[in-house]
Each structure stands twice: as C-alpha cells, then as structure tokens.
Amino acid sequence: MYWKVSSKIENQKDFFNVTGFMYTATLIIGAKNCNSVQPLALIEVPYNLVQAVVYGIIVYSMLGYEWSITKFL
C-alpha cells in the first residue's frame, strides 16, 4: 500500500499521507522497543535496591552516626 509512495506525491494530501505513515511507523516501533526493554529493566530493580541499601549502610557507618533504625530510615 505504501510501497514507493513518496515518488507519487502530487498534492498536499499525498504528502500528509506519507508523513502520517512515517509518524505511525515510528510510534509503533518505539512502543515495540519499549515493550522489549521493560522486562530487562524490571530484572535490575532488586539489584538497584540492594546497591542503594549497601551504599547507605557503608556511608552511614563511615559518618559515625548512631545506629538506630529510625534514624537510618
């Protein structure tokens, strides 16, 4: 349907059809890429949480704060 349609642009309507097709194709490809990356990003969430907790504990102890769970949180 859209094969070599850019060579057949004769008026403004044809131009808008081609532009709309490119926009839709880009939007669909972007959504597909987001869906394929999302599971990989979700796998990394526990690792990020562990890193944040370990870093917080190390820095908290290096600063010499009082070890109390209420002050840590």
Residue range 20-64, pLDDT digits in tens: 888 999 999 999 988 888 888 888 889 989 999 999 888 888 888
Question: Is residue 5 domain-resident?
Answer: no
Domain that holds residue 42: 11-72
How deeply is 21 buried, as exposed, middle or buried, from its count of CB atoms within 10 A (0-12, 13-18, 19+)?
middle
- Measured between alpha carbons, how far is 25 from 3 in angstroms, rounded to an integer? 14
- Measured between alpha carbons, how far is 59 from 72 in angstroms, rounded to an integer? 11
For residue 19, pLDDT beyond 80:
yes
Question: Is residue 43 domain-resident?
Answer: yes
Question: Is residue 64 domain-resident?
Answer: yes
Number of domains in the chain: 1
Structure token pair of residue 1: 């349907």
Question: Is residue 34 domain-resident?
Answer: yes
Q: What is the pTM of this model?
A: 0.49
Question: Is residue 1 domain-resident?
Answer: no
Question: Is residue 6 domain-resident?
Answer: no
Confidence band (pLDDT; 50, 70, 90) for 72? Answer: low
Question: Is residue 3 domain-resident?
Answer: no
Phi, psi torsion values for 3, nearest 5 degrees: -70, 120
Q: What average pLDDT score do residues 8-21 get?
A: 87
Question: Is residue 59 domain-resident?
Answer: yes
